[in-house]
Structure 1
Amino acid sequence: MSGKGAPELSVSDAGDLRVGVIAAQWHEKVMDGLVDGALRALRDLGIAEPTVLRVPGSWELPVAAKVLADRGYDAVVALGVVIRGGTPHFEYVCQGVTAGLTRVGTDTGVPVGFGVLTCDTEEQALDRAGLPGSGEDKGHEAVTAAVATAVALRSLSEPWREAPRHTA
């Protein structure tokens, strides 16, 4: 199971954060579980009014994440699922979505929770979707990671500055 070794995250003072959740629409049962887990995590963290935005598929997650990050959200969570088929489409979509979401986080400084399941089978996706009987709850995990990172970044006392360079 991929969840082995995950850290126990303890997050406090997050209730005032502005968090956006973006969820794809493909694979409705899996997505319902991911969204429910994400919303449960937000409630657990005291974040009462997250923005939830639905997009057609996982491919559209990075552009939506960029817009939310640019509009001042403290954290963004991207939820989707891509299930391997018989063509190379799986690799292209997974690589593009991963690179796009990574770029949003690094370009904007806004934490992006990665809740995109990349599975060989629908059964694997269902086992990670946080549904009754699932082994993992990746929607909950993605929110917790993004919010924990936003809280950690907020704790910095001043903006990052380049350290002075010493010459010999």
Structure 2
Amino acid sequence: MGDWEVRLIGSGGTTEREAAGIAALLRGLVADGAALGWVAPPSAEEVGALIADLVAGVPAGDTASAVAVAFTAGGDEEVAGFGYWRRYRRPTHRPHADLEELAVAPGRQGLGLGRALLSTLIAAALRQGVEVLTLDVRGGNTRAEALAQKLGFHQYGRLENFVAVGDARHDKLFYALDLRELRGPAAS
């Protein structure tokens, strides 16, 4: 993959350096106005608790998370992207999961990292028997919309002026990927 790779975060968790890199990535993106669910940049402790929660769900197939690392000229790794999904908690929704975050560093966008992260997470969902993978996108995030559509997600709804960022309001767009269709009839 050139100067970067994507890997799933297993039940062993992340290294301290990866966790710090994920926190820095999310903090920077939110500070720049990215639609990641936070109004203010999350603290390192918040991100650490998120990662711990995601890792705890790995053995049961309740979560999957992936990190994209870029290799620097000096041979070091830096976090260039992060994403995860979680199964829905309601018993009637347990066969399904929601992609809650997909984030790529601004300097690494347009290189295929988002697609690789999302593809890795879709593959993990398939392995874990997820039937439908959902995600939502803040209206106006055309890159995220285009990526979801390229990988087979279809828009199934919109809530107008739903996302509140200060005084600004944005639409919330809902997408779904039916993984049962990818598995075929014998695997359903």
User: What TM-score do you get using the length of structure 2 for normalisation?
Assistant: 0.32
Query: Of Structure 1 and Structure 2, which has the larger fraction of its residues in helix?
Result: 1
> Which of structures 1 and 2 has the larger relative contact order (alpha carbons within 8 angstroms, sep 6+)?
1
User: What TM-score do you get using the length of structure 1 for normalisation?
Assistant: 0.35
